[in-house]
Amino acid sequence: MKRALITGANRGIGLAIARGLSDKGCDVLLGSRDLAAGERVASEIGAQAIELDVSNPASIQRAVKDAGPVDILVNNAGILGSGNLLSDPDDFESSLAVMVRGPYLLMHYLTPNMVAQGFGRVVNVSSGWGAFSDGVEGPAAYGVAKAALNALTVASARTLPQTVKVNAMCPGWVRTRMGGAGANRSVEEGADTAIWLATLDGDGPTGGFFRDRKPIDW
């Protein structure tokens, strides 16, 4: 049984990914800043909640210790700022902490065991708003952070062996608290590509960017 850790998984896309991996027989660790909220939904999908604030390195260290070795890591947690990119240094710092530094630290701590055992899957939930091909159009620091997450995906995939696959994906515009009720995709549609990447066969891709299971431009 593969053991999976999903960050920001107490609601929205993260919860849909957790549910999908649980349905596929994975032992799922549902990461949540609010442990009580995580425990409420974890029990519904046969998962285990773990307290994890990806903006806090100390919280990451505790969570990694509590989780133990994992086979699958899904870096899903994200925040969406607003306003002008250069007007709010706090938003910039928070965005980079949640969507770049947090994923980096989790990969730093968790991929050595993946390498040692000859199997690992890392999925970075990114966005077309972080794509240079789309002009890095995300609001405030969001697009910059997602672009950096994409760069981390490419560089880490090059660093790790082929047995540990690292890919980024764009869920599209999804009906979540962040995406809003007017979005055109369900959480299940948004989560599908992440679940696919998390369960790739040995001949699957690494170092790519995907939407609806198809490669897209960075």
| Residues assigned a catalytic role | 142
Which H, E and C letters describe the chain, residue by residue? CCEEEECCCCCHHHHHHHHHHHHCCCEEEEEECCHHHHHHHHHHHCCEEEECCCCCHHHHHHHHHHHCCCCEEEECCCCCCCCCHHHCHHHHHHHHHHHHHHHHHHHHHHHHHHHHHCCEEEEEECCHHHCHHHCCCCCCCHHHHHHHHHHHHHHHHHHCCCCEEEEEECCCCECCCCCCCCCCECHHHHHHHHHHHHCCCCCCCCCCEEECCEECCC
